[in-house]
């Protein structure tokens, strides 16, 4: 079971389906897992009057330390709002410390970003072989369109992709890697039957829009995907460095974008990439092969002469 599940907890236990717009940024900033591989999850809810929580099931155990709220980052860096949503947006901080108002170019209110307190607004329930991240709906925003955004650094994020090694090509597997990225949300065939009962009981969701951005190094060759990306572009270092909070070569990274804009119940994306794999071991293998070929050619030349 390697699929994310997202649903709402209805106050009356009979509500739904509820409507969500979801955004995912999957960052692959290096060839090694760990801090260089993480997932950003954005949830936009239009009307939460009948909702107590928004739930995200992760198919591996999650600790509070694995989660970071990005609402604080957006509050501190107002320009990032336009960058993330690719719109001419502005923000209004107002008097509420935990609410960031988002305005369009005409200064009209569009939605609010809620800054989560991981101690009081977020709880984690271990169940179904993984963890459910439960985000509490603040009463003051129940009737308003609002947005949450969190970052997940967890072994599950590493498992979204895996390395394919050809069985019949020693040289190819030694000097290059083929990586398969398989990302799934609410695919019923990949979810535990008891979890599906829980989702149906709490409150199922429809997705109005789903956006997935996959960030990778520009040196990685895009080979194939379930459908062509909606678009791709090079990241701008000056815009993204505050979002990631690190000095990384963003100008050497490409963002691939897939989306679904018709109402849907699930989403999946599959992509294949290939890149050069270079380590001290592979360099040693290469040197040994070159020396062996040189020795063999010299030996054959002497033999023939």
Q: pLDDT tens digit string along 237-276?
A: 777 888 887 667 777 889 999 999 999 999 999 999 988 7
Q: Tokens in use for 53?
A: 């929580």
In the prediction, which pLDDT does 260 show?
96
Percentage of the chain with pLDDT > 70? 87
Give the least confident one: 115-119, 122-126, 241-245, 254-258: 241-245
What's the pTM value of the predicted model, to 2 decimals?
Answer: 0.87
The yes-or-no verdict on residue 284 having pLDDT over 70 is no
pLDDT of 301 > 80? The answer is no
- How far apart are the C-alpha atoms of 20 and 11, rounded to whole Å? 17
Q: How far apart are CA 2 and CA 185, in angstroms?
A: 9
The residue-averaged pLDDT of 89-107 equals 84
Lookup: tokens for 241: 């460095």
Question: Is the pLDDT score of 169 beyond 60?
Answer: no
- DSSP letters for the chain: ---BEEEEEETTSS---EEEEEEEEEEE-SSS-STTEEEEEEEEES--TTEEEEEEEESS---GGGEEESHHHHHH-THHHHHHHTS--EEE--S-TTEEEEE-TTS-EEEEEE---TTTTEEEEEETTEEEEEEEPPGGGTTS-EEEEEEE-SHHHHHTEEEE--TT-HHHHHHEEEEEEEEEES-GGGS-HHHHHHHHHH--EEEEEEEEEEEEETTSEEEEESS--SEEEEPPHHHHHHHHTS---GGGEEEEEEEE-S-BS-EEEEEEEEEE---HHHHHHHHHHHHHHHHHHHHHHHHH-
Q: Stretch 153-176: mean pLDDT, rounded?
A: 75
pLDDT of residue 92: 86
Under 8 Å between Cβ of 214 and 28: yes
> What does the pLDDT read at residue 35?
46
Cα–Cα distance for residue pair 219/254, rounded to 1 Å: 9
Q: What is the pLDDT of residue 33?
A: 41
Instruction: Judge whether residue 31 has pLDDT over 90.
Output: no
Q: What is the largest CA-CA distance in the chain?
A: 92
pLDDT, one tens digit per residue, over 219-234 is: 899 999 999 999 999 8
| Span 38-73, pLDDT tens digits | 999 999 998 888 899 999 999 999 999 999 999 999
- Which comes out higher in pLDDT, residue 14 or 151? 151
Nearest Cα to Cα of residue 110 among 123, 92, 129, 132:
92
Q: Residue 90 and residue 92: Cα distance in Å, rounded?
A: 7
Q: Does domain 5-159+185-266 have CATH number 2.60.40?
A: yes
């Amino acid at each position: 079971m390697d699929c994310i599940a997202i649903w709402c907890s209805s106050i009356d236990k009979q509500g739904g389906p509820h409507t969500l717009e979801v955004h995912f940024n999957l960052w692959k900033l290096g060839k090694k897992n760990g801090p260089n591989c993480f997932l950003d999850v954005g949830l936009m809810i239009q009307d939460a009057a009948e909702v107590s929580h928004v739930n995200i099931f992760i198919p591996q155990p999650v600790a509070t330390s694995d989660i970071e709220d990005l609402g604080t980052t957006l509050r501190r860096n107002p320009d990032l709002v336009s960058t993330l949503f690719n719109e001419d947006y502005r923000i209004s901080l107002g008097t509420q410390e935990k609410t960031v108002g988002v305005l369009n170019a005409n200064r009209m209110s569009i939605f609010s970003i809620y800054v989560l307190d991981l101690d009081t607004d977020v709880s984690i329930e271990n169940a179904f072989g993984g963890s459910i991240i439960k985000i509490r709906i603040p009463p003051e925003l129940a009737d308003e369109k609002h947005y949450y955004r969190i970052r997940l650094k967890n072994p599950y994020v590493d498992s979204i992709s895996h390395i394919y090694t050809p069985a019949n090509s020693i040289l190819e597997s030694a000097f290059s890697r083929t990586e398969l990225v398989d990302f799934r949300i609410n695919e019923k065939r990949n979810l535990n039957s008891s979890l599906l009962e829980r989702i149906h009981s709490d409150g199922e969701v429809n997705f109005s829009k789903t956006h997935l951005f996959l960030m990778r190094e520009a040196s990685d060759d895009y080979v194939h995907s379930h459908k062509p990306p909606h678009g791709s572009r090079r990241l701008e270092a000056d815009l993204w460095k505050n979002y990631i909070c690190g000095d990384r070569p963003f100008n050497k990274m490409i963002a691939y974008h897939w989306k679904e804009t018709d109402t849907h119940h699930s989403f999946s994306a599959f992509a294949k990439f290939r890149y050069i794999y270079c380590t001290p071991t592979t360099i040693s293998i290469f040197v040994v092969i070159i020396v062996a070929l040189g020795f063999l050619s010299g030996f054959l030349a002497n033999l023939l002469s």
